[in-house]
A and B are shown apart, each in its own frame.
Chain A
Amino acid sequence: MSRQLIYKSLLVIIIGCLTFLGGLQLYKHRHFQTPMVAGPSVTQVKKLSDYVPDLKGTMADTNVFFLEGKEPGGKMLVIAGTHSNEPAALLSALIFLENSTVEKGTLIIIPQFNNSGGRNTRSGDGYPLYFQIKTRWGHKKFRMGNRVASPLDQWPDPDVYVHYPDRQLLSYLDIRNTNRTWPGRPNGSLMEKVTYAAMELIRKENVDLAIDVHGAETMFPVTNCIVAPENSLRIATMTSLTLKATEGFDNHVEPSPKGFRGLSHREIGDFSDALPFLLEAPIPFLDQPTGPKTVDLLLEGKDPFLLKLSKKGKLFVPYDEQGWPISKRVGQHCSAVLEIAKQFSRRNSEKALKISHVPRYADVVNNGVGFYYKDPSKADKKNVFYN
């Protein structure tokens, strides 16, 4: 064997080993399953592929939990995990899933809407692969995902994403972003099928309220708010005013722009009878000018660069040395969802929703997020689902 060949073989073996070791971490992350304990009101667990069969067997398929009250009433859909790098959404949805008692109406929860995105990461930005939430029984581990679906599941990307049906030109990346592919289509890209499946769910189940839960940068104006189109504005405004007066936190209302296509708060209302809302809570982790993207930054939101920028008036939210902890974000989401349901029920008594045993803002801030999670190892196995 020539020296060159030995040398090259060694190079291939070394690079191969390094690739394997690095890849193994990513493989484990992709296949890591988070257990979710179905609460007392969960009556059935479906899949998105029940609405679009093409999703079956793909990484895009995901669990859809139905919590049906004894009394018929309105139907509310809570979508979390559209952007899996905004963990407050999933954490809030899990609180609803594991604790809600639905007395009237139906609550439908999709905790990990972009399941592929939840198994993606952003290694170039130094994203942590996991984070843990302290609970009463130990720690609960979650994957830290990415904003868009994994290219392993949907590939290749076009040069420019031509949005269906209006043909608005969007960034190529947004074809993997489930907050740009609404209303979707049954024969489109994988993420278009995901949003189409959700639209089919909304139409077939006659959903009245659809709430998409998110997080946004502190340096972005559309943060700490409820985004609502025209038909939802009244409920959104009363929710915002009531939350400020009764629970003491700001959650201003942003009107949904008609000219920006593909977003849930626009398309759900345009293609169904449901009233859409999109909730944003501030997540300093996503801001560009921060220090290293650590788990601490993700969960506590404390950053010295953002603090300096805040003092110069560059942030769109009040920000101090306390940061913006996950309990505050999750608490806001819990209260906003409950209040939207309440304001809707006030105006539509025959379609009221009555949900109890879900904590509001002050409770989550005082007790912490993990206080409300059940220990899956102690739960009945038939009530434990994995995502």
Chain B
Amino acid sequence: MSIVMIVYYLISAYLLAMLIWNFYRENKSVDKMLQYILIMIPLILRIFRAK
């Protein structure tokens, strides 16, 4: 795997972590909770290389 690809995975992991953190902290808006979950899906699939 090239260094660029490793960096991309690290960026994806960082974004996923931020989304989980924001989802955990979100207590008011159901819309935002749903958005966080939906946006997490491709990042989870990418990091776990689910094909």
> Measuring CB to CB, which residues of chain A are less than 8 angstroms from any residue of chain B?
4, 8, 11-12, 15, 19, 23, 27, 30, 59, 152-153, 155-156
A–B pairs, 20, beta carbons within 8 Å: A4-B27, A8-B23, A8-B24, A11-B30, A11-B33, A11-B37, A12-B37, A15-B34, A15-B37, A15-B38, A15-B41, A19-B41, A23-B45, A23-B50, A27-B51, A59-B51, A152-B51, A153-B51, A155-B8, A156-B8
Minimum Cβ distance to chain B for residue A153 (Å) = 8
B44 (CB) vs chain A CBs: closest residue: A19
- A-B CB pair tally, cutoff 8 Å: 24
Contact residues, B5-51 vs A (CB, 8 A): 8, 23-24, 27, 30, 33-34, 37-38, 41, 45-46, 50-51
Quote the shortest CB–CB distance from B45 to chain A (angstroms): 8
**A301, chain B: closest CB distance, angstroms:** 33
C-alpha spacing A22/B29, complex, angstroms: 26
List, in ascending order, chain B residues with CB within 8 A of A153's CB.
51
Determine how close the nearest CB of chain A comes to the CB of B29; give it in whole angstroms: 12
Task: State which size class the interface on B falls in.
Answer: 10 to 19
- Interface residues of chain B: helix, strand, loop or mixed (majority): helix
The 5 A-B pairs of least Cβ separation, nearest first, read: A15-B37, A152-B51, A19-B41, A4-B27, A11-B33
Q: Apart from A15-B38, A27-B51, list 18 A-B contacts with CB within 8 A.
A: A4-B27, A8-B23, A8-B24, A8-B33, A11-B30, A11-B33, A11-B34, A11-B37, A12-B37, A15-B34, A15-B37, A15-B41, A19-B41, A23-B50, A30-B51, A59-B51, A153-B51, A155-B46
| C-alpha gap A13/B39 in the complex (Å) | 15
A-contacting residues of B (Cβ < 8 Å)? Answer: 8, 23-24, 27, 30, 33-34, 37-38, 41, 45-46, 50-51
Alpha-carbon distance A183/B33, docked complex (angstroms): 47
Q: Which residue of B lies closest to A152 (CB)?
A: B51
Residue of B nearest to A153 (CB): B51
Closest to B46 in A: A155
B37 partner residues in chain A, CB cutoff 8 A? 11-12, 15
Most chain A CB within 10 A, of B8, B24, B37, B50, is at: B37
Instruction: Specify which chain B residues have a CB less than 8 angstroms from the CB of A152 in the assembled complex.
Output: 51
Q: In the complex, A8 Cα to B27 Cα: how many Å?
A: 9
CB proximity of A262 to chain B, nearest CB, Å: 22
Task: Give the docked Cα–Cα distance between A30 and B45 (Å).
Answer: 15
> CA of A27 to CA of B41 in the docked complex: distance in angstroms?
15
Interface centre among A4, A8, A153 (most CB of B within 10 A): A8
User: Nearest chain-A residue to B4 (Cβ)?
Assistant: A156
Which of A12, A59, A153 has the most chain B CB within a 10 Å cutoff? Answer: A12
- CB-CB under 8 A from A11, the residues of chain B are 30, 33-34, 37
> Bound state CA distance, A106 and B11, in angstroms?
50
A141 to B41, CA, bound (A): 30
Residues of A within 8 A of B34 (CB): 11, 15
Alpha-carbon separation in the docked complex, A30 to B33 (Å): 30
In the assembled complex, the Cα of A30 lies from the Cα of B51 at a distance in Å of 8
Residue of B nearest to A31 (CB): B51
